[in-house]
Chains A and B, each alone.
Chain A
Amino acid sequence: MEILIENASKTIRGAEVLKDVNLRLTGGTIYGLRGPNGSGKTMLLRLMAGLIRPTTGRVLLDGKELGKELDFPPSLGMLLENPAFLPEYTGLRNLILLAQIQNRVGASEARQALLDVGLDPKDRRTYRKYSLGMKQRLGIAAAILEKPEILLLDEPTNALDAAGSALIEDRIRRERDRGALVVVASHDGAFLERLAEEIYTVTEGRVAK
């Protein structure tokens, strides 16, 4: 899997949120995006996810252009900003419902994804009763559920304690080890230094190594 971003800029409501971005990202690597709040990290992740289209330039996935040949990457897991699920269902039920859309994985993989992020698949609490940390863990479980080829994580350690962060770090490395292209955006430089093999700095929409 390869993501190629060529001369991509994005203007939203008159503000240029991404400026002439050029990146080549390949599978089996963890990439870090660091930068202050509002620098454009999340927008860059949205661009890679196909949620926004570049105003100029293009995004290619294994040679196929996002927005023309593909609406979204065919194998994508993502956690952007605050995770959101159906509040009246348990974590497991939420994951099973998501899994049913593509039918690539079933209930056993959903249970495993919960265990991987430190949640109990037998927990009968509904999502609305989850703590912030549990919601974050469920968001990561949803992102890794289908063993995606591209994994985009925005501030994955938000609301997690030290043990939770360590667990998620380990989980992300395992995703890399099976060949996934992982992009992690965080304002926590130390976290990215530990985790990422390549780190890019995003400043006012510009991306530099």
Chain B
Amino acid sequence: MNLLKLFSHDLRCGLRRKRYLLMTPIFALACVPFFGIAMETPGITWMDWVFHLFAGAVPPVVDHLPLGFLAIMGGALLVNLDYLLNDLTASGQQVLIRCGSRREWFLSKCLWNLVSCGVYFAGVLLVATVFCLVTGGEAALTNTPAALNWKFPFTPVRPLSAGQCLLIGIILPYLTMAALSAVQMTLCLFCKPVLAFLGCSGALLVSLYFNAGWIPGSGAILIRTSLFGGAVEPGTAILVDLALLLGSVVAGTIRFRKQNILSAEE
């Protein structure tokens, strides 16, 4: 019962933030490079727009760093970075002493993280939908190989079923985003938030340079998936993400039991 009340506090305080809206121009900028392709290629679908945003890159990426992808994934880390610590030094302290349980308070923050990433991800999808509508794209959950071939001519992109598209275009990017953000939140209990952010965004960057499913961040790079002949098995990526989520919850709960709750100045 306590957890539900804490969670509703976190939804009330942690989701009413302008920064979700402020990120939409970034999402739009990430969509822009695909605009011309979408206009020229027949049969472009909504899922092609999503695939464009979360395609990532094939190693070597030195010349083709996917800035849009990094901005979207890194933006999620930035948006979620300070809520826990800010709440701990503000009205959240009154909430914490009333709920009486450090464990439940942290668990509520973990749930909030999932929802916050969901809201952020929904924002990305909404912007992709707007671009799809503007370019006259089809409202379909399947992909058009030509839409990715312009950027990845040497990758065997093939048509996937709607289920496969949902798996690599929606579920895995969201899970990876939520997992990295959860790791970052837990790291904030151990070190300064800026270091937690640098650590997680660094992991994201590293995942672009190494073609392995177990590296955190790889799950969101759909062009690496085994469905397109890459090294990242969706099942492995899901397991990695779930392990990161669970590990963050456990490590954070243990750490938070002894966390000093001080003012921002202290």
- Verify A71–B100 contact, CB threshold 8 A: yes
* Residues from chain A with Cβ under 8 Å of B98 in the complex: 98, 101-102, 146
A53 at the interface (CB under 8 A from B): yes
User: Shortest Cβ distance from A51 into chain B, in angstroms?
Assistant: 4
Report chain A residues within 8 Å CB of B100. 70-72, 74
Bound form: Cα–Cα A198–B12 in Å: 42
- Give the residue name and chain of the B residue nearest to A71 (CB): B102
Q: Which residues in chain A, 1-52, are within 8 Å of chain B measured between CB atoms?
A: 12, 42, 46, 49-52
A-B pairs with beta carbons under 8 A, tally = 65
Whole-angstrom distance between the Cβ of A114 and the nearest chain B Cβ: 15
- Assess the A86–B262 pair: CB atoms within 8 A: no
Tally of contact residues, A, Cβ under 8 A:
30
- Among B54-62, B88-96, B127-135, B208-216, the one that faces the other chain is B88-96
A100 and B95 contact, Cβ closer than 8 Å, known pairs A51-B261, A53-B258, A72-B100: no
CB proximity to B under 8 Å, residues A83-136: 84-86, 88, 94, 97-98, 100-102
> Is B251 in the interface zone, CB < 8 Å from A?
no
B89, B97, B263 pick with most chain A CB within 10 angstroms: B97
Q: Tell which of A51, A67, A101 has the most Cβ of chain B within 10 Å.
A: A101
Chain A residue nearest in CB terms to B5: A101
Q: Is the CB of B95 within 8 A of A101?
A: yes
A85, B91: Cβ atoms closer than 8 Å: yes
In the complex formed, the residue of B with least CB distance to A77 is B97
With A76-B97, A86-B13 given, can you name 18 additional A-B contacts, CB distance below 8 Å?
A12-B260, A42-B263, A46-B261, A49-B97, A51-B97, A51-B261, A52-B261, A52-B262, A67-B257, A70-B100, A71-B257, A73-B97, A78-B94, A78-B97, A84-B90, A84-B91, A101-B6, A146-B98
B residues near A (Cβ < 8 Å) are 2, 5-6, 9, 12-13, 16, 89-91, 93-103, 257-258, 260-263, 266
21 A-B pairs (CB sep. < 8 Å): A46-B261, A46-B262, A51-B93, A51-B260, A52-B260, A52-B262, A53-B260, A67-B257, A67-B258, A71-B100, A71-B103, A73-B97, A76-B97, A78-B97, A80-B93, A84-B93, A97-B9, A98-B94, A98-B95, A100-B5, A101-B98
Nearest 7 A/B pairs, CB to CB: A84-B90, A51-B261, A101-B98, A52-B260, A71-B102, A84-B91, A72-B97
